[in-house]
Amino acid sequence: MSQTASRNADLQDAGSVLFVDDERAVRLAGQQALELAGFDVTACDGAERALRHLGRDWPGCLVTDVRMPQMDGLSLLAKVRDLDPDLPVIVITGHGDVPMAVEAMRNGAYDFLEKPFPSDRLTETARRAVEKRRLVMENRRLRAQLAGGVDPAGTIVGRTAGIERLRATISAVADTDADVLVFGETGTGKEMVARALHAASGRRKNPFVALNCGAMPEAIFESELFGHEAGAFTGAAKRRIGRIEHAGGGTLFLDEIESMPMHLQVKLLRVIQERVVEPLGSNEQVPVDLRVVAATKADLRQAADAGRFRADLYYRLNVVVLTIPPLRERRDDIPLLFQHFVLQAASRYNREPRTPSRDQLQRLMGQDWPGNVRELRNAADRFVLGLEEAAPAAEPAAAALSLAEQVDLFEKGLIQSELARHRGSVKATIEALSVPRKTFYDKLKRYGLSREDFVE
């Protein structure tokens, strides 16, 4: 690393740039300008040397002069397009080379710079190109996860205290056999938490079996959960393995457990206590090795006191409780969550991910989101599809906060969003926000933020 880059070691790199020019003075000047802006720069004196560094995994952009001996910049552009058509290429043209610049843009160049150009024009163009490259690489990562059967929605996104506690508790109990009760409003992601527990446990290679108790008709509930033998009732032509037995070795997730009929709660309690299941029509007990994760949006203690839920089952489940805060109590996470869902939606719909404006982020943070994370995800889908803006105007419910509180909340969320977008780079963030460095650090201290939390 050069001395210039070393002096900027306290800043997170703004990204990677491959700078190609056969003129040593131009090459050094470009490298210095980019390094002062926080970029990690690789400088080459020719196209052939530059090609050794490039490929589909190159994380940044390419800046290349057009007029070079042996292989010129347009030929290099063509070869890069063959390697990866999504790799941004910025071409440098001499004064008066307008036709060459036009040809480069037609051939897929990201942008062009005409000599002589100011340093800030170079760094700003490179910054936009690198940001585009990051989005492309993130999309590819998400698509690879989807193709491999890994659901990116399983990631618990957020940096607020409630989410940090949730992640810490999951890490602490995931690799145990302790049964878990997950509490949260509709749409907060209770099944996501259950899947995270399963994925972090030693049971991850075995089944994750989910059953929504609120959506199961009572007539078939018992058979669906416990299974039945052939002839156990009219229509039972053959033996059926229930969800409990099917979850053997893995995790049984019972969503909306408050909706489970009382007479089946007794049987479930026995399964949890003795780890055996007795199918309908059978006198034999089948041993089961499983973990039970139950989820509810209701206060089970109140339901038990009111006689709507068995108290003994409540106390049996109430050993490890994971509480998911509603979105209105973690507004600071909204910009980060929305960006996460936009990337997911762009990957699913094969669209370019859009970036919400500051006004759109403000409106997002002003919502109460009664449907919680699920509602925010749907809004991100519509935003990517171009069906509507990121969020409608803030509803009256947001007025519960004072004006000063709303301003602080938005400002904190905006700083978090920009730090996340620039991978913790202070220099890039203060430039994006157009604030003095001292003011920026004062606000980090005021809101309890640290750039290290955003460095990947």
**CATH of residue 432:** 1.10.8.60
Within-domain flag for 152: no
Residue 264: CB atoms within 10 A of its CB come to: 16
387-400 b/e (C-beta count within 10 Å ≥ 16 → b): eebbbeebeeebee
Cβ-contact 267, 261 below 8 angstroms = no
Cis peptide bond N-terminal to 392, omega within 30:
no
Distance between CA atoms of residues 366 and 409, nearest Å: 9
Domain span holding position 257 = 161-324
Candidates 348, 341, 339, 352; CA nearest to 143 is 348
84 and 25 in a common domain: yes
Q: How many CB atoms lie within 10 A of CB 86?
A: 14
CA distance 290 to 57: 41
Q: Are residues 174 and 43 in the same domain?
A: no
122 and 212 both lie in a single domain: no
Residue 54 forms part of a structural domain: yes
pLDDT per residue rounded down to tens, the chain (456 residues): 343 333 333 344 578 999 999 889 899 999 999 999 889 999 999 889 999 998 888 889 999 998 888 898 899 999 999 999 989 999 998 866 777 778 888 888 888 888 888 899 999 999 988 888 887 787 677 666 555 554 433 468 887 889 989 989 999 999 999 999 999 999 999 999 999 999 989 999 999 999 999 988 887 898 889 988 887 677 767 888 899 999 999 999 999 999 999 999 999 999 999 999 988 888 888 999 999 999 999 999 999 999 999 999 999 999 899 999 999 999 888 888 888 888 888 888 888 777 787 778 888 988 899 999 999 999 999 999 988 655 544 444 444 455 566 667 777 877 887 787 777 788 888 887 877 888 888 888 888 887 776 665
185 and 138: one domain? no
Q: Are residues 292 and 335 in the same domain?
A: no
**CATH number, residue 197:** 3.40.50.300
CA 194 – CA 206 distance, rounded (Å): 14
Name the pairing type of β-strands 276-277 and 286-287: antiparallel
Q: What is the DSSP string of 366-381?
A: H---TTHHHHHHHHHH
At a CB cut-off of 8 Å and minimum separation 6, what does 453 contact? 159, 419, 424
Residue with tokens 């913790």: 424
Same domain, 295 and 169: yes
Name the residue among 67, 68, 8 with its Cα closest to residue 34. Answer: 8
If asked whether residues 171 and 121 sit together in one domain, one would say no
Q: Are residues 432 and 380 in the same domain?
A: yes
Domain co-membership, 229 together with 169? yes
d(CA 176, CA 421): 36
CATH of the domain at 13: 3.40.50.2300
Whether 318 is covered by a domain: the verdict is yes
The closest alpha carbon to 55, from 128, 122, 133, 125, belongs to: 133
Which of 300, 324, 348 is at the close of a domain?
324
Q: Which residue has the tokens 């347009």?
A: 74
- Within a domain: 154: no
Instruction: Please tell me whether residues 141 and 172 are part of one structural domain.
Output: no
CA 316 to chain CA centroid, Å, is 34
Per the domain annotation, does 153 fall within a domain? no
Q: Which of 26, 32, 31, 29 is nearest to 67 (CA)?
A: 26
User: In the numeric block, which tokens belong to residue 20?
Assistant: 């190609």
Looking at 290, 305, 324, which one is the last position of a domain?
324
Q: Could you tell me if 319 and 337 lie in one domain?
A: no
125 inside domain: yes
In a domain, 76, yes or no: yes
Alpha-carbon gap, residue 212 to 3, rounded angstroms: 60
| 304 close to 260: Cβ distance less than 8 angstroms | no
H/E segment holding residue 200: none
Query: 341 and 406: one domain?
Result: yes
The torsion angles phi and psi of 212, rounded to 5 degrees, stand at: -90, 105
Strand duo 89-93 + 227-228: pairing: unpaired
In a domain, 371, yes or no: yes
Domain C-terminal end among 281, 299, 324: 324
Residues 6+ apart with CB under 8 A from 384: 342, 345, 346, 349, 351, 353, 354
- Please tell me the total count of domains within the chain: 3
